[in-house]
Chain A
Amino acid sequence: SQQGEEDPQALSIQEGENATMNCSYKTSINNLQWYRQNSGRGLVHLILIRSNEREKHSGRLRVTLDTSKKSSSLLITASRAADTASYFCATSLRGNEKLTFGTGTRLTIIP
């Protein structure tokens, strides 16, 4: 079963704008990860945030985690055409080595 649900399912923005996508999950987690997938390719790990962290940055990426609302957001600032991809959140439960992936947000950057 899907643990995470991304919102929106699809997002189109102009190059240079910021893109925000959200992930909600159902049960308590150990950590939450965000991945990017370009069309027809494998997933690339972007960032991991642990359950005791609230915010994390990596370059143009900013991830927040609100465990009380069971939700996370991924912000991509100053978007570029190369950011066009699908973005997935994945959660890991305590004592469980498996990752459970959401259904993804398809991001399109319009040049």
Chain B
Amino acid sequence: DGGITQSPKYLFRKEGQNVTLSCEQNLNHDAMYWYRQDPGQGLRLIYYSQIVNDFQKGDIAEGYSVSREKKESFPLTVTSAQKNPTAFYLCASSIQGLDFYQPQHFGDGTRLSIL
């Protein structure tokens, strides 16, 4: 079955440590996205990518970095510069239509906590 796989499901970060969240999709989608969700709130866009080797900052990119070396993969690194990283992180993908407004398909998230 096609879908998006995020791993790990739970992740703990120590002070000063960088951690990387994995996101893999086998839907053959061009566009991929990373969101952050805090308790009781909506989703905020961190980074997005429309094509391999290209990505753009979202609304809250500071303290995060991404890469898009393969169409299927869009890993997110939470760096030590992100002072409040505790949140639920969601990866999504969509077909890159000419009109852009396509539904997004989501993974089941990674919950990141500070040790």
Chain A residues engaging chain B, CB cutoff 8 angstroms: 1-2, 4, 30-31, 33, 40-45, 48, 50, 88, 92, 95-104
Contact = CB atoms under 8 A, between A and B. Distances in A.
Contacts of A92: 100-101
Contact of B58 (A41, A48, A98, A102): A98
Given A31-B101, A48-B101, A101-B44, 6 more contacts: A4-B42, A40-B111, A44-B106, A97-B100, A100-B45, A103-B42
Interface of B: 4, 6, 31, 35, 40-45, 48, 50, 58-59, 90, 92, 96, 99-101, 103-109, 111
B109 A98 contact: no
A45 B104 contact: yes
Contacts, number: 60
B42 A97 contact: no
Nearest to B97: A97
B42 A88 contact: yes
B42 A102 contact: yes
Nearest to A98: B45
Given A97-B48, A97-B100, A98-B48, A45 B31 contact: no
Contacts of A41: 108-109
Contacts of A100: 45
Contacts of A2: 42
22 contacts: A1-B59, A2-B42, A30-B100, A42-B106, A43-B104, A43-B106, A50-B101, A92-B101, A97-B31, A97-B48, A97-B50, A97-B96, A98-B45, A98-B48, A98-B58, A99-B104, A100-B45, A101-B42, A101-B44, A102-B42, A103-B42, A104-B42
A30 B45 contact: no
B90 A103 contact: no
A43 B40 CA distance: 14
Nearest to A45: B103
Nearest to B91: A42
B101 A40 contact: no
A100 B96 CA distance: 17
